[in-house]
A and B are shown apart, each in its own frame.
Chain A
Amino acid sequence: MVIFNRKKMNTIKDIYDSLEKVMDPEIPVLNVLEMGMITDVQQDEKGIHIKMIPTFSACPAISVIKQQISDTVSKDLQLPVDVTVDPAIQWNSNRLTETAKDKLRGFGIAAPPIHHGEINADMLLHVTCPHCGSDNTFMRSPFGATLCRAMHFCRQCGMMFEQFKPLT
């Protein structure tokens, strides 16, 4: 008789598939991969080791995100998971994937433009309005509802909107 309970072999891809289900608590339309928060995924005899980075160093969601990664991946793959913050890599806004930026706009938040190591005034002063598409906008404050968002105002449609800040 053939025994079919052979343990299913996980692949790194299975771990990534599981990570796709872990959403950012402050921007619930984006998962941690789209946010560019995952820097390394390894598996060995002890279990799964995931390295991640916060967007801002004081991000209050960091422990929640670590816990959600650990809970989700260990449930899906039935293996112990440890999640650590990677000190060697710093998050910057170029790590957001194109899919992430599309989803942000759909969520009503302007996406940060690609930068080349410096943030200049143009990136902040005339951000395209996610509601009407106008560039006739100005930054009301570099600080908003969360550390990663700034507040802008659109002169065209008269609406406030938020931008995910470009960060170097």
Chain B
Amino acid sequence: MENLIKELVTKMADDALILGHRNSEWTGLGPIMEEDIAFSSMAQDKIGHAWALYRILQEMGDGQDPDQFAFLRAESEYKCCHLTEMPIGTYEFSLMRHFLFDHAETVRYNSLLESGFVPLQQLAKKVKGELKYHTLHADAWVIQLGKGGAVSHAKMQAALDSCFPLACGIFEPGPDDAGLRDIYPGEKVLQERWIDNIYPVLTKAALNIPENVAPAYGGRYGQHTPYLHALLEEMGEVFRQDPAAAW
């Protein structure tokens, strides 16, 4: 049971860390200043959530220091999904990824409000309120750009088509989700709730969820896209120079 909880917390933390790092790559590059600030702020939130989750792991015993755990693991020990690993690409790709991911986070943390694992239940109360601003931001832009004329709509639909199979990989089933039933409802249930949440927004934006997609699985079991390797190299470059340094 304890190992299953650790798996769950690790994949949540790694998703937040890696997407937080990707969001931070928009700093200075946003298409307008407000979006530059928004992606930078969301990066900060994500890294904060990752840190809180790594702290939970540490406090579960035999845990490592959050910084060491975040920066010094082998690539195959990261449990992030492929969606978070992809380069920032175009603005519409990053926006769509943020929309799909933050709605997934919302259903996940809402379910954790009733978790039998107290540290996750306490953290969920905190994160839920913060995520409200992420989905508010994502929904407003997805609807505005989905309805923003033919070129804009086509770009948003293409972004949804490429992000959706990756986003389904968020819900790759764990090794024993049934064994965690007192902790969270399992990936299958979360995915159904996620569809219920994103569908009305996508409808308002006149965007269609692609059918018959092959979910991008593998990340939860340490199989990653080539993009993760490059990201980890860059993210840990300074840290690895002196892992014992005090910051």
Taking beta carbons and an 8 Å cutoff, which residues of A are in contact with B? 56-60, 87-88, 90-92, 119, 124, 140-145, 147, 150-151, 165, 167-168
Q: Is B7 an interface residue (CB 8 A)?
A: no
Contact of B52 with A57 in the complex, beta carbons under 8 Å: yes
> In the assembled complex, which residues on chain A have CB atoms less than 8 Å from the CB atom of B42?
143
> In the assembled complex, which residues on chain A have CB atoms less than 8 Å from the CB atom of B51?
57-58
Taking beta carbons and an 8 Å cutoff, which residues of B are in contact with A? 34, 37-38, 40-42, 44-49, 51-52, 119, 122-123, 125-130, 132-133, 136-137
What is the CA–CA distance of A58 and B45 in the complex, to the nearest angstrom?
Answer: 5
What is the CA–CA distance of A6 and B210 in the complex, to the nearest angstrom?
Answer: 78
A113 nearest CB across to chain B (Å): 15
What is the CA–CA distance of A113 and B99 in the complex, to the nearest angstrom?
Answer: 27
Question: Which partner residue on chain B sits nearest A142 by CB separation?
Answer: B133
Contact of B122 with A87 in the complex, beta carbons under 8 Å: yes
What is the CA–CA distance of A150 and B212 in the complex, to the nearest angstrom?
Answer: 40
> In the assembled complex, which residues on chain A have CB atoms less than 8 Å from the CB atom of B48?
56-59
Return 26 A-B CB contacts under 8 Å, by A number: A56-B45, A57-B45, A57-B49, A57-B51, A57-B52, A57-B126, A57-B127, A57-B130, A58-B44, A58-B46, A87-B119, A88-B122, A90-B125, A90-B126, A124-B136, A141-B34, A141-B38, A142-B136, A143-B34, A143-B40, A147-B41, A147-B45, A165-B133, A167-B129, A168-B128, A168-B132
Residue with the greatest number of chain B CB neighbours at <10 A, chosen from A88, A92, A140, A142: A142
A34 nearest CB across to chain B (Å): 20
What is the CA–CA distance of A144 and B119 in the complex, to the nearest angstrom?
Answer: 29
Question: Which partner residue on chain B sits nearest A118 by CB separation?
Answer: B132
What is the CA–CA distance of A56 and B49 in the complex, to the nearest angstrom?
Answer: 10
What is the CA–CA distance of A14 and B119 in the complex, to the nearest angstrom?
Answer: 33
> In the assembled complex, which residues on chain B have CB atoms less than 8 Å from the CB atom of A145?
37
> In the assembled complex, which residues on chain B have CB atoms less than 8 Å from the CB atom of A150?
133
What is the CA–CA distance of A90 and B123 in the complex, to the nearest angstrom?
Answer: 8
Contact of B34 with A56 in the complex, beta carbons under 8 Å: no
